[in-house]
Amino acid sequence: MSMVNANNPSHYKLIVIGLFVTLFGIYIKEIILHSLFIDLLGWALTFLGALISIKGVLRILK
């Protein structure tokens, strides 16, 4: 196995972007006035951000 793949900064950038998307989804759910649409949007962003971060971790492990 080569450690070059694990040291690639693009993987870590992807994880950070996923974290920001997740935090934005949580912010929308908790801070902005609650409605069905806003809650669904917040949940969708939370799960999307988590999937982006998991994708970055899996790229490191590859």
Instruction: Print the domain residue range for 32.
Output: 9-61
**Angle, CA 14 vertex, CA 9 and CA 17 arms, to 5°:** 125
> What's the structural domain count of the chain?
1
The answer to the question of residue 26 being in a domain is yes
The answer to the question of residue 30 being in a domain is yes
**pTM (whole model) above 0.85:** no
pLDDT in tens, 1-60: 556 677 888 999 999 999 999 999 999 988 887 788 999 999 999 999 999 999 999 988
Q: Which amino acid is at 22?
A: T
d(CA 1, CA 22): 31
The answer to the question of residue 53 being in a domain is yes
DSSP alpha helix (H) spans, the chain:
9-30, 36-61
Placement of tokens 């590859």 in the chain: 62
The answer to the question of residue 33 being in a domain is yes
The answer to the question of residue 31 being in a domain is yes
d(CA 57, CA 49): 13
